[in-house]
Structure 1
């Protein structure tokens, strides 16, 4: 490639001559040029000009996604000294074993001393040894995802919590060896923790959750789905302590959670945006109505499939009061009928609902869907699978008009999900 030149400018030169940019601009000036390139492909092209520009580009790189062994990682630590975010995660369906290993983490901990974000999802070869390396050598780490790294136990994660006091985000979903000891360590050392993902960590109890609340008072997002030993005591304690910060709470299949938890959320957490209580079968109308009134301005996503005690009165309250609700899952709530939709919209507002999942609602008919469509004009996805009284033909014969951009799902596997659903839940 020909050397980059600068034609014109205010520096004296012979007529017809050109000045090489590399002679005219300092490193700091070139960095200023690079900083103005916002698109990723433009920033990549910058490094193709020459070796000097590639070196400058590398020194300014802050994010990197890679698959590499120790030798390559050592080269990367030399090339990208300013790296802040490193993604070594694997796809759950295409992961290779062992993938990232403890020796790789040793290189990372020694070489990327300023690292803030590390993603190791589905890296099944990682153990406590690697976690201890991170805890010892990466004090600035703020975000760590070791979901589905099933060889990791309390020993390694407690080392991370103890050594990384700036930690704001920790996801350890699927780590069944994790216990309350991790939550106690987080409470002691990580007072800035905001986002904690513990889905499937079924050895976590109310004792651990209460201990977490003692030291971590700024929790913004908490996922304790399928933590079957969690009940009202732990959830209520979190609701009380993190009342102003808590926005996302996921309690999928926490069957010990009941009305007491929901009443606590209604009383304390008026900024709650996402609540997942699918499978919490003891939740009743009274607590849901209280929540719909308390969080009427904040609630945007509500998943309460398999809440078998929910009836028309609480669903009507949610639809009538939660004016910003964008996603709702009421699948398998077999007490719901068309009456839930009939008086909604009488307040004069138009619902912002985009996603409505109501599979296996045995008593809802085409008439109920017609009532719902009168005030839900923004729908993008409606799940009507396994609703015995609702069919495509029946909706057509009734002359129902779904929004033009709305996908309506009448059949197919109940295990399948649309991308838009995953965005909300």
Structure 2
């Protein structure tokens, strides 16, 4: 028998313009009324026969007219700004007008082709840029025969099959200084509201043009930087965040010494964050920064090549709150007499990561300068044993301690220090294999019971819940903090791994 209910053919789903403009008569009337209001100020004026004929002609052509063309650029720009980030690129292909307007909404660009900047197309395409990353475009790796991409902490490049030079970034792969300066002048003139800039091998002339044309520049990152190039940023009066990369093994071999640090200190007095990577300096350079940059709150050293005695200069940083030392093979081989070290009274955080902490004199000097610190983070540092960690007793205001990867530190060495910290509130011990659960004393377990936050995972066999059974961990702290309602609630984060 024939099928009495044959399946209906599939219909094309309606698009959102068809649903929006379904009532075409009403829409045409609205559009016509919008144009009519521009010519007639009186809403009660009756339409003449001539105007009625114009209305009929307009309604006939309304279906083929771009309705968005009736909107001004300002109104259409506000509409397009409401689109999600993922839809802006597809919508830029609608027409040239939308391409231009959506380009005005772009604020951040990572450039890969320097010719796009030097030809002026970057400025015409994105006239309102505030964040520009030029580091990748400064390296010409188009001729690299290898398909391997090397990613450094701040840059990614393609490797060359010929590694005879011993460097991943050779001088012949960098753009000429003349081309970089020309591109910086074009960028500075086209983007006066620039706030963040990243580039490689810039000269003083190119940086001077940026400093003069971009008074709102607040964050700057310079790769392969030298002392002479730092003269160009002395006019950046509003610069707040600065990252300098001098000598980086396998990448750059530039030298930043006390000369460059002194030029920087006298030119950029509003610095809040400063990061020095592979820089060569000493007491003179750091003291100049501390005396001139009185707003400096965060100082970071990556693989520094500082001369002996630079730790004593930290006491000139009167408002320093955070000190980070990362990837350094030495701290200070000869910090000098203890009575000349001074201290940082406003310091809150000391962060040590992947550093060599084998020299007793330098570790003791660093902790003496940072004696007012409240948070100490030691992560994957070599040489942190009981004797080295005992120097931390001088830091009597510590409220948070984080130890990770300190395999030489034992339970006795940890206990002897943290029991002397009466203000300790949070403790984190992770991957410290020489600290054992079975060696936890009643005094240490009593301290655990009153902590606000505890993360205890010293090794892969740690079973804190079973080894501390009956000690009242998590119970005494709850009763203690309930008596004072103004204190924060207790957070017990015990991680156990079998």
State if a TM-score over 0.5 links the two structures: yes
Which of these residues, 268, 274, 285, is aligned with residue 345 of structure 2? 268
- State the match for 1:414 in structure 2: none
* Contact 1:236/1:264 (8 A) holds in 2: yes
- State the match for 2:436 in structure 1: 365
Give the count of matched residue pairs.
372
- Quick check: 1:79 aligned with 2:125? yes
- Equivalent position SS for 1:269: coil
In 1, Cα distance between equivalents of 2:323 and 2:297: 6
- Equivalent position SS for 1:81: coil
In 2, Cα distance between equivalents of 1:177 and 1:343: 40
* Contact 1:144/1:170 (8 A) holds in 2: yes
* Contact 2:314/2:369 (8 A) holds in 1: no
- State the match for 1:108 in structure 2: 184
- State the match for 2:261 in structure 1: 183
* Contact 2:117/2:183 (8 A) holds in 1: no
- State the match for 2:92 in structure 1: 47
Stretch deviating more after TM superposition (78-87 or 96-105): 96-105
Cα distance change of structure 1 residues 212 and 357 upon mapping to structure 2, 3 Å threshold: farther
- State the match for 2:73 in structure 1: 27
- Equivalent position SS for 2:426: coil
- State the match for 2:241 in structure 1: 169
Scaled by the length of structure 1, the TM-score of the pair is 0.68
> Per-residue CA shift, 1:109-135, capped at 9, x if unaligned?
323432332223xx5xx364xx53122
Scaled by the length of structure 2, the TM-score of the pair is 0.60
- Quick check: 1:118 aligned with 2:197? yes
* Contact 1:165/1:189 (8 A) holds in 2: yes
Larger radius of gyration: 2
Coordinate RMSD, CA, aligned: 4.5
What's the offset of the Cα at 1:55?
A: 0.4
* Contact 2:227/2:260 (8 A) holds in 1: yes
- Aligned ranges 1:200-215 → 2 under 5 Å: 200-202=278-280, 204-215=281-292
What's the offset of the Cα at 1:76?
A: 1.2
Cα distance change of structure 1 residues 261 and 181 upon mapping to structure 2, 3 Å threshold: farther
- State the match for 2:206 in structure 1: 133
In 2, Cα distance between equivalents of 1:343 and 1:237: 27
- Equivalent position SS for 1:244: coil
- Aligned ranges 1:237-386 → 2 under 5 Å: 237-240=313-316, 242-250=317-325, 252=328, 253-256=330-333, 260=338, 264-265=342-343, 267-270=344-347, 272-276=348-352, 278-280=355-357, 281=359, 282=361, 288=367, 291=370, 294-296=372-374, 299=375, 301-302=377-378, 305-307=382-384, 310=387, 322-325=398-401, 327-329=402-404, 331=406, 334=408, 336-338=410-412, 340-341=414-415, 351=426, 353=428, 356=430, 358=432, 361=434, 364-368=435-439, 379=455
Q: Unpaired runs of 5+ in structure 2?
A: 1-14, 33-54, 137-150, 159-168, 248-253, 469-491
What's the offset of the Cα at 1:194?
A: 2.1
In 2, Cα distance between equivalents of 1:184 and 1:348: 39
Which of these residues, 212, 219, 226, is aligned with residue 296 of structure 2? 219
